[in-house]
């Protein structure tokens, strides 16, 4: 495994510092956020930060740098919104994280092209949408997070875990159950909270109908008769010989 240079480590550290600083300040003095909104927001941002750091240091995906920039911008906005004087510290640390992620320091480290057999871009966007749904719900429901909002936030994170692990049936949940859960949440929560689940579900569900994401999540099913088709290039020679086929999989002509 290629050792991680100093620049990506510093960038990851600054993004982490922004989230840690923001979470501590929001926990101690959340106004104008309600305590429940602050808790949901800090927890969601922490999970999003973990995803961004893993993307920067391990996956080396360019999407991770953009997520880090988005997290820094969010903390700057929230820090400016906070009534606590400590909000200034949140803004300053987040500004440093913004400069680090938006600068040229990650340019040579992050991959320019997708890797062979890597996670499809549609799956990355869908996962990030699911992970970022809880903090978006918290900002939309600043006065008090209702039980239905907590439920949809938990459902989104559970669905993200199922999708990330490609659990059988997760594709059906994303396509059908997630929009239903979003609609039920929107009807119960009302405006403006309703906007978040509806938009998030529209993004995730639409991506779930893409062929690349479906191929990544749908389990390999046998054809009729209970057998799998194996490309001849991958079949052992003795299997082809026993089947009377040549190296291309075509049946040999009788001699």
Could you report the per-residue pLDDT of 31-83, keeping only the tens digit for each? 999 999 999 999 999 999 999 999 999 989 999 999 999 999 999 999 999 99
The rounded distance, in Å, linking the Cα atoms of 38 and 246 is: 66
Q: What is the pLDDT of residue 115?
A: 58
Q: What is the pLDDT of residue 212?
A: 81
Mean pLDDT, rounded, for 111-125: 74
First CA to last CA distance, the chain: 53
Within this chain, do residues 140 and 201 fall inside the same structural domain, yes or no? yes
Residue pair 63/124 in contact (Cβ under 8 Å)? The answer is yes
Cβ neighbors of 71 (< 8 A, separation 6 or more) are: 15, 18, 19, 45, 48, 49, 52, 97
pLDDT-derived band at 136 (thresholds 50, 70, 90) equals very high
Residue 20 above 50 pLDDT? Answer: yes
Residue 3 in any domain: the answer is yes
Q: Which of 23-27, 105-109, 150-154, 244-248 has the lowest mean pLDDT?
A: 244-248
Within this chain, do residues 2 and 104 fall inside the same structural domain, yes or no? yes
Percentage of the residues of the chain whose pLDDT score is greater than 70:
85
Residue 48 CA from chain centroid, whole number: 8
The rounded distance, in Å, linking the Cα atoms of 157 and 178 is: 12
Residue 226 in any domain: the answer is no
Within this chain, do residues 26 and 100 fall inside the same structural domain, yes or no? yes
Residue pair 153/168 in contact (Cβ under 8 Å)? The answer is no
Within this chain, do residues 22 and 81 fall inside the same structural domain, yes or no? yes
Residues of the domain holding 157: 118-219
Residue 53 in any domain: the answer is yes
Within this chain, do residues 46 and 127 fall inside the same structural domain, yes or no? no
Residue 205, number of CB atoms within 10 A of its CB: 18
Residue 198 in any domain: the answer is yes
Residue 106 in any domain: the answer is yes
Size of the chain, expressed as the number of residues it contains: 255
Within this chain, do residues 57 and 142 fall inside the same structural domain, yes or no? no
Within this chain, do residues 145 and 186 fall inside the same structural domain, yes or no? yes
Within this chain, do residues 2 and 106 fall inside the same structural domain, yes or no? yes
Residue 44 in any domain: the answer is yes
Within this chain, do residues 83 and 12 fall inside the same structural domain, yes or no? yes
162 vs 47, 51, 69, 167, 203, CA distance in Å?
15, 15, 26, 5, 17
Residue 232 in any domain: the answer is no
Tell me how many domains the chain contains.
Answer: 2
Backbone angles phi, psi at 245, to 5 degrees: -115, 155
Task: Please give the model's pTM, rounded to 2 decimal places.
Answer: 0.82
Q: What is the pLDDT of residue 248?
A: 67
Mean pLDDT, rounded, for 191-209: 95
Mark which of 84, 110, 136 sits at the end of a domain: 110
Mark which of 110, 128, 144 sits at the end of a domain: 110
Q: Which of 41-45, 86-90, 169-173 has the lowest mean pLDDT?
A: 169-173
Within this chain, do residues 68 and 146 fall inside the same structural domain, yes or no? no
Residue 116, number of CB atoms within 10 A of its CB: 5
Q: What is the pLDDT of residue 241?
A: 74
Residue 239 in any domain: the answer is no
Within this chain, do residues 106 and 164 fall inside the same structural domain, yes or no? no
Mean pLDDT, rounded, for 179-190: 96
The rounded distance, in Å, linking the Cα atoms of 173 and 176 is: 5
Q: What is the pLDDT of residue 224?
A: 44
Q: What is the pLDDT of residue 111?
A: 82
Within this chain, do residues 99 and 70 fall inside the same structural domain, yes or no? yes
57 vs 249: which has the higher pLDDT: 57
Look at the alpha carbons of 69, 34, 46, 146 in this order and tell me if their dihedral is positive or negative. Answer: negative
The rounded distance, in Å, linking the Cα atoms of 75 and 49 is: 11
183 vs 238: which has the higher pLDDT: 183
Mean pLDDT, rounded, for 97-121: 81
Backbone angles phi, psi at 251, to 5 degrees: -65, 135
């Amino acid at each position: 495994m290629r050792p991680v240079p100093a620049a990506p480590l510093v960038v990851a550290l600054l993004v982490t510092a922004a989230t840690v600083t923001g979470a501590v300040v929001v926990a101690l003095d959340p106004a104008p956020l309600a305590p429940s909104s602050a808790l949901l927001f800090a927890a969601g941002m922490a999970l999003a930060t973990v995803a961004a750091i893993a993307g920067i240091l391990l996956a080396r995906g360019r999407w991770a740098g953009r997520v880090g920039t988005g997290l820094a911008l969010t903390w700057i906005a929230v820090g400016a919104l906070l009534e606590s004087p400590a909000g200034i510290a949140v803004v300053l640390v987040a500004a440093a994280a913004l400069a680090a992620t938006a600068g040229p320091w990650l340019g040579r480290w992050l991959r320019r092209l997708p890797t062979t057999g890597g996670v499809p871009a549609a799956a990355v966007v869908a996962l990030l949408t699911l992970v970022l749904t809880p903090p978006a719900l918290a900002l939309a429901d600043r006065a008090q997070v209702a039980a239905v909002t907590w439920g949809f936030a938990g459902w989104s994170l559970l669905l993200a875990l199922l999708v990330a692990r490609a659990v059988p049936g997760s594709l059906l949940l994303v396509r059908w159950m997630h929009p239903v859960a979003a609609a039920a949440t929107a009807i119960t929560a009302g405006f403006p909270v309703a906007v978040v689940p509806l938009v998030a579900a529209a993004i995730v569900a639409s991506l779930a109908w893409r062929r690349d994401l479906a191929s990544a999540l749908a389990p390999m099913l046998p054809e009729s008769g209970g057998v799998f088709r194996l490309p001849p290039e991958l079949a052992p020679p003795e299997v082809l010989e026993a089947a009377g086929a040549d190296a291309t999989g075509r049946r040999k002509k009788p001699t």
